[in-house]
Structure 1
Amino acid sequence: MSVDGTLDAVGETAFSRMAERHRRELQVHCYRMLGSFEDAEDTVQETFLRAWRRRETFEGRSTFRAWLYRIATNACLDLLAKCRPEPATGGEVLWLQPYPDRLLDELPAGEGDEPESAAVARETIELAYVVAVQHLAPRPRAVLLLRDVLGWPAKDVARLLGHSVNSVNSALQRARAGMREHLPAERRDWSGGGQDAGTRELVRRYTDAVVATDVDGIAALLRDDVRCSMPPTPGLHVGRDAVVADWVESGFQDLEGLRAVVTSVNRQPAVAFYLRRERTGAHLPLTVDVLRVVGGAVAEIVTFHDDRFPSLGLPEAL
């Protein structure tokens, strides 16, 4: 960066090094905005391209990091306007994709060393939070994430979006109300990440029951109001009876030769399942179940297809 705080004299290689330091946190921000891991990756690349091409607009009045966040947020808003002009409805997000914990581990520590900050960071990456965010209109969504997650002052958010401070504060109140409507009521009771012994035991029992295709055994681990979805396949099933009926109808009990790998995704416990294929004799990817655990029972299952295995760093075969 030059003496006067501009980027005019910075070469492309040096600029790239400066930007790359912020790649992971920008990707997480874009992921919260978009709900899709692939779209977040693409949008960060677009952010870096825009930043390089418009480097003369950086005048040093804010930090380089804040400038990148401004560009990334606008890139997200542009993508939403083009591809998803309407927010999600009905409690499900068909474009939802999981975010790998191995990449979350690359986030800079910063204020996250403090327990309260770490909890906020974890809770705002969990799937139920990301799903709730997708139900907000794009600009209130951006306001919520910039104000409540990143902690930006209202005046800075107003400058980024080209709005008044009053309109930003009004959008924030609407967004918070929308989040209360779409977030689980017992959110404070989430176990988060499966670190406690009770959650680990529940995940073990769930894994064993699925591998054994024991529908009754799985059902015993579910809350009465359990929710189950499989994006991008449409269909949100709510309630133990509805979830079990869907499994039976889909032929779950006929699966043979399942194996499992316990992992974590979006800071939640998850289980990757592999099915033996007679043609190859190997166990190949089938699905990944991401669990939300409340009060010692499974409150939600979000199942992703086998195309998510590579991005999650899961084995290609067992």
Structure 2
Amino acid sequence: MTDARPLGADQAAFIAAVRADDAARFALLTERHRRELQVHCYRMLANYEDAQDMTQETFLRAWNKRESFRGHAALRTWLYRIATNACLDLLRKRNDRTPVPSELPDPDSEVPYLQPYPDRMLPADPQESVVARETIELAFIVAVQHLPPRQRAVLILRDILGWPASEAADALGLTVASVTSALQRARVTMREQLPGRRLDWRSPATHELSEDERGAVRSYIETHERNDLDALASLLRDDLRFAMLPDPGTVTTTAKDAVDGWLSGGLFQPGHDDWRGIATTVNRMPAAVLYVRTPGDPEYRLFAVAALHIVDGKIAELTGFDAADKPWLDLPPTL
């Protein structure tokens, strides 16, 4: 039997491009979905470079499978199915794309392959579920990584994209009962992994930074520029969660211990005490881009990006990334 429903404009144009073997038209119709597909792959993989690769793999697979598209589902849905399975295939091949036990006494496991996502690469439509802030922030992305790959896919398709169980089951080659069971288990794990103060990811989405967040990131930069360690410590909660990736060791620490640890590592000491910073956002989170000038160097050079989660005006979570090897963040190399 064929589906008698009328085709949407996208589906009809796509089928016409396939029948004409028109690669340019095919690329034009699929390219408009690139950003949201890349966010989808990032949620699955927590790594920006992997997400780029799998988005490109999605388009390659779509071209190779173009004859299989019959318009029974929206073109967007068909592409999401391909992208999801491309990510699952990658996860089957890569044993370094799962959380690893912490090397520190903290019982948590870590996601050393986590990379920040530049906000400028998010889809432009703020109403899209794919850019809901609660589901792109780092804590959520890390929590998702603790799910087995198929549970991960089910949670994203069902709870973030809002697919019905039957559609998710069809995309993943599962039964509806299996999808329902996987979703229930995934939700339990997510609530265990997300820090207790985090929002429910199924609550109404927010997008904009608050004044508290904007003020805290400005203060964070200013305390570095003044080398004011007391003021820096006063910005941190006493149950701070801190990580500096890709170094091992996500820890919950006091504000004083965090600052003492940075000092013992050489920061704020001669040679690493001349700072400048700019405010930005990654993963819809406030972030500080830090630059340091060493003796004899006329310029401040890119050092790190600190993504901040702010609670009641204080920094509750700080995830630092080496910024020098992440050209996709499009940051000036010097100030």
TM-score (norm 1): 0.91
1:252 aligns with 2:259: no
Distance 2:135 2:187 in 1: 13
Distance 2:39 2:24 in 1: 24
| 2:323 aligned partner | 306
Quick one: which of 188, 191, 198 aligns to 2:212? 198
Compute the displacement of 1:206 (Å): 1.4
Compute the displacement of 1:309 (Å): 4.9
Closer/same/farther in 2, CA of residues 189 and 61 from structure 1, 3 Å limit: closer
| 2:163 aligned partner | 152
| 1:223 aligned partner | 237
Closer/same/farther in 2, CA of residues 298 and 177 from structure 1, 3 Å limit: same
Q: Give the share of equivalent positions with the same residue, in percent.
A: 49
| 2:289 aligned partner | 272
Compute the displacement of 1:307 (Å): 2.8
Quick one: which of 12, 19, 23 aligns to 2:23? 12
Compute the displacement of 1:242 (Å): 3.9
1:234 aligns with 2:251: no
Quick one: which of 187, 203, 213 aligns to 2:198? 187
| 1:79 aligned partner | 90
Equivalent pair of 1:99/1:266 in contact (CA under 8 Å): yes
Equivalent pair of 2:134/2:199 in contact (CA under 8 Å): no
Q: In structure 2, the residue corresponding to 1:233 is in which secondary structure?
A: coil
Closer/same/farther in 2, CA of residues 242 and 170 from structure 1, 3 Å limit: farther
Compute the displacement of 1:9 (Å): 2.7
Cα-Cα RMSD: 2.3
Distance 1:242 1:62 in 2: 54
Quick one: which of 42, 46, 58 aligns to 1:31? 42
Equivalent pair of 1:288/1:305 in contact (CA under 8 Å): yes
Closer/same/farther in 2, CA of residues 4 and 22 from structure 1, 3 Å limit: closer
Compute the displacement of 1:80 (Å): 0.8
Closer/same/farther in 2, CA of residues 253 and 277 from structure 1, 3 Å limit: closer
1:315 aligns with 2:332: yes
Q: In structure 1, the residue corresponding to 2:250 is in which secondary structure?
A: strand
Closer/same/farther in 2, CA of residues 269 and 193 from structure 1, 3 Å limit: farther
Closer/same/farther in 2, CA of residues 3 and 95 from structure 1, 3 Å limit: closer
Compute the displacement of 1:258 (Å): 0.9
Distance 1:243 1:75 in 2: 40
Equivalent pair of 1:192/1:268 in contact (CA under 8 Å): no
Tell me which amino acid in the other structure corresponds to 1:232.
Answer: P
Distance 2:225 2:21 in 1: 56
Tell me which amino acid in the other structure corresponds to 2:286.
Answer: P
Distance 1:178 1:250 in 2: 34
List gaps (5 residues or longer) in structure 1: none
Equivalent pair of 1:25/1:107 in contact (CA under 8 Å): no
TM-score (norm 2): 0.86
Q: In structure 2, the residue corresponding to 1:238 is in which secondary structure?
A: strand
Quick one: which of 40, 48, 55 aligns to 2:51? 40
Distance 1:56 1:166 in 2: 30
Deviations 1:56-95 (A, max 9, x none): 1111111111110000000000111111377315242100
Relative to structure 2, which stretch is displaced further, 190-199 or 136-145?
190-199
Equivalent pair of 2:98/2:111 in contact (CA under 8 Å): no
Q: In structure 1, the residue corresponding to 2:152 is in which secondary structure?
A: helix
Distance 1:41 1:17 in 2: 18
Distance 2:235 2:171 in 1: 46
Relative to structure 2, which stretch is displaced further, 195-204 or 262-271?
195-204
Compute the displacement of 1:245 (Å): 3.3
Equivalent pair of 1:96/1:131 in contact (CA under 8 Å): yes
Closer/same/farther in 2, CA of residues 4 and 68 from structure 1, 3 Å limit: closer
Compute the displacement of 1:236 (Å): 1.2
| 2:5 aligned partner | none
1:99 aligns with 2:117: yes
Tell me which amino acid in the other structure corresponds to 1:313.
Answer: D
Closer/same/farther in 2, CA of residues 314 and 193 from structure 1, 3 Å limit: farther
| 2:6 aligned partner | none
Residues paired across the two proteins, number:
311
Closer/same/farther in 2, CA of residues 252 and 193 from structure 1, 3 Å limit: farther
Tell me which amino acid in the other structure corresponds to 2:163.
Answer: W
